Amino acid sequence: MEEREGEVRWDGLCSRDAAARRAALDTIGQAVLRRAQSIAPGTAALPAARDGLAEALARLLLLAKRCPFPDVREKSEAILGGVQELGIRIPRPLGHGPSRFIPETETIQVGKEDATMHTLFAESFATLGRLDNVTLVMVFHPQYLESFLKTQHYLLQMDGPLPLHYRHYIGIMAAARHQCSYLVNLHVNDFLHVGGDPKWLNGLENAPQKLQNLGELNKMLAHRPWLITKEHIEQLLKTEENSWSLAELIHAVVLLTHYHSLASFTFGCGISPEIDCEGGHTFRPPSVSNYCICDITNGYHGVDEIHASPAGSVPVSSTESVCEVEALMEKMKQLQECRDEEEASQEEMATRFEREKRESMFVCSSEDEESAATRDVSRHFEDTSYGYKDFSRHGMHVPTFRVQDYSWEDHGYSLVNRLYPDVGQLLDEKFHIAYNLTYNTMAMHKDVDTSMLRRAIWNYIHCMFGIRYDDYDYGEINQLLDRSFKVYIKTVVCTPEKTTKRMYDSFWRQFEHSEKVHVNLLLVEARMQAELLYALRAITRYMT
């Protein structure tokens, strides 16, 4: 990408070599201070110079607050201090940490992580050029985070069928389906960084026809994947000069499903805007007079900060919450005993599945939830009225997809690995880690086998998509998942942009935030696998 004159270059900061990072920061500091001196009070400056400085200062704020390397944090703080001495207002963070739902004091603090987490943070920073808020919430579960980062790095940056700018644009298209401005903002920056044409960002109609043709598959995968047929695949593969190869299409499908499900995680965990992005910082002075640069790295945001209570906005007595946990454990015990005593017939199992699938269509919140505030991202996709809510309100029938006929393990995995080598293996590892992850705890209880509960959550999500496991008794779902939990699951998976803190607070009220993040990992992977199953089955049918 052509470098603009006077542009601050950040690339060297991604180096794993401390000397190279220091050299890069010295260069950045000199460029920022020169620009700051040119617009110091009493000097004339072009608006572009001011905008450029504001962007650079916001990025330095991110480094001072969120870089895993102490030398970078300290140097960034010093550069900001130098700018402040010139009489220029510096930014300060907004919000309360990486999540709007989880108090910052209960998340992992950068600079206080253990050796394992530091390695993950350093790897993430070196790969992405930042330590983003998704990583800072996912790190509750380091084993999963490591797999997630490895997979995402491969999809976006390693050798593959699609050019780099296409990959980020497809990420934008997918995230925009759920109005996820957090992910859209990140990938707009990445798209431009790898040489993407800024005109494409004015609307999908400005992108190449080949990408426009992907719009139909994007919206169906995001909202109604059961409607995908081999004819949709054929249209993409046989469109003459704008056609996709099978390998390119597999890459695109994996990217679309990855970012649809990551949008679910972003909203489900209340991920805050990045410090250097819109909504993550402000240049307005705080409401106290003794605020100084040292406060930035100490996490102080001024007296106007509102500290969220861990209990959230849903008042509940601790006794009631403890009873909730005890009741759930007792149900798990009773269900295990029933399994040992008798087994339902295949006919009864099928009936229970159809009942659960039908009931899941009508699970919705009793309140008129409002979507989280987002910038307008609709220009990145077409048919803005198309969504899951239309299906549920009109009571349309979802056909049953039997896993015994087409499964990830027996069919999808090998297809992906054949057309996009190693990705099938990476996805399979990520699915298994999310599904099998356990610390054998439930709230305050230890040595608990949670496999029954994890399977109920996974299978409920697949049930909402019409996917049935013949060997599972769907009657267990109503025993283990109460209404508030079902509302949360349905919202996060199907209409994540409508997720609210009240929903997050309302389920499993005595459980740790790490356990609620664990639930979100199950939702992310179960949703991604469900979308993939429908798309890969259609591709398989086209090929045969």
Provide the annotated active-site residues: 180
Helix, strand or coil for residue 442? strand
Q: Which amino acid is at 133?
A: N
User: How distant, in Å, are the alpha carbons of 400, 408, 450, 460 from that of 358?
Assistant: 11, 24, 26, 12
CA distance 168 to 190: 7
Cβ 106 vs Cβ 311: under 8 Å: no
CA distance 131 to 64: 11
Closest CA to 423 of 135, 144, 139, 157: 157
Tokens 């039908």 correspond to 358
Q: Which amino acid is at 19?
A: A
| Burial label, 395 (beta-carbon count in 10 A; 0-12, 13-18, 19+) | exposed
Q: Name all contacts of 154-162 with Cβ < 8 Å and 24+ positions apart.
A: 154/422, 154/423, 154/426, 155/251, 155/254, 155/255, 155/258, 155/423, 156/190, 157/127, 160/251, 160/420, 161/245, 161/247, 161/248, 161/250, 161/251, 161/420, 162/248, 162/251, 162/252, 162/255
Cβ 22 vs Cβ 54: under 8 Å: no
